[in-house]
Amino acid sequence: MSSDYGNYGGYTDGGFNTDGNAGGFSTDNGIAEKHQSRTSLTPVTIKQINDAEQDVPDGDFKINQIELNMVSFVGIIRRIDDQTSGIVLKVEDGTGTIDVKKWTDATTSTTEELEKYNKELGKYVFVSGALKSFNNRKTVQNSVVYPIVDHNQVLYHHLSAIETHLKAQGITTANSVKSSQATGLFVTDNDAHASPVDAIYNFVKENSASMPTGVTEPFISQKLGFTTADAHKFCQELVESGRIYQGTDESSYFCV
């Protein structure tokens, strides 16, 4: 099947193949996928940065299937070193230590920078920047460093680092729904308290993958214990609000 569409290069392994190689991540198709550098800000712990490795020199750092390019972390400034070209902040978050380089330019002097960061010594800061390797030591370049005023940010940062990590490990949707409910942080309802509309939404979402023609109304009403009329009403509400979509006929639904 693939050969019929050979001209489309990298798209031959699209999601509609029914053979065993389906899926965008197979590596045996002989066509190198054009590598696009990921530039979104990834929340991490310093340990992840220190453990990260480059597959190729000057390539992106990788740790547990996460590509690290722009990273953000929170930590405490433990030491500030004065160097002629700038200052180096040693930041530590309990998982490790990393150097954060702040270059000085025409608008700032080392003394000013030192003064500014000396006030933050021993306090929590938020750091984001590009992860680079220099003489086999990882440093964070072009960094933005600002003091943390509300320390809930520290907690949330760690939680989102954990979330990002778990998603990259391919934790399935069903599990992630469960775990986000278990945290009680991001999702306030759980199944027991969910409104009928939400219950149907979750149900359709869970079953969409296994029911290619759509999750049918009778199936919903039977599994969730609604009358067919109620199920229809709630489904219509969800369709109107754009949360689910009509399937192959009027009484079956999808959730993307």
Partner 1 sequence: MEASQIRIDATLLETHKGQLVRLIGKVQSYDTSRAAGVVDSNGEVRIQIQDSNEYPSVGKIYEFIGKVSSNSLDVTVYSIVELSDNTNLDVAQKLVHYVHKVPELYY
Judged by CB under 8 A, the number of residues near partner 1 is: 31
- 139 touches partner 1 by CB under 8 A: no
CB-neighbour burial class of residue 98 (10 A; exposed 0-12, middle 13-18, buried 19+): buried
- 170 touches partner 1 by CB under 8 A: no
Span near partner 1 by CB under 8 A; candidates 23-31, 95-103, 106-114, 218-226: 95-103
CB of 70 to partner 1, least distance (A): 18
CB of 245 to partner 1, least distance (A): 34
Site residues for partner 1, 40-69, by CB under 8 A, read 45, 47-48, 64
- 154 touches partner 1 by CB under 8 A: yes
Reduce the DSSP state of residue 39 to 3 states and report it. coil
CA distances, 5 to each of 9, 25, 255 (Å): 8, 18, 29
Long-range contacts formed by 59-64: CB under 8 A, 24+ apart: 61/131, 61/133, 61/138, 64/165, 64/168, 64/169
- 12 touches partner 1 by CB under 8 A: no
- 150 touches partner 1 by CB under 8 A: yes
CA distances, 29 to each of 8, 33, 34, 141, 190 (Å): 13, 10, 13, 37, 43
* H/E element, 101: strand 97-103
- 99 touches partner 1 by CB under 8 A: no
Structure token digits, residue 168: 């990259």
- 120 touches partner 1 by CB under 8 A: no
Instruction: Please give the residue ranges that form the binding site for partner 1 (CB under 8 A).
Output: 45, 47-48, 64, 76, 78, 90, 92, 94-97, 122-124, 149-152, 154-156, 158-159, 161-162, 165-166, 183-185
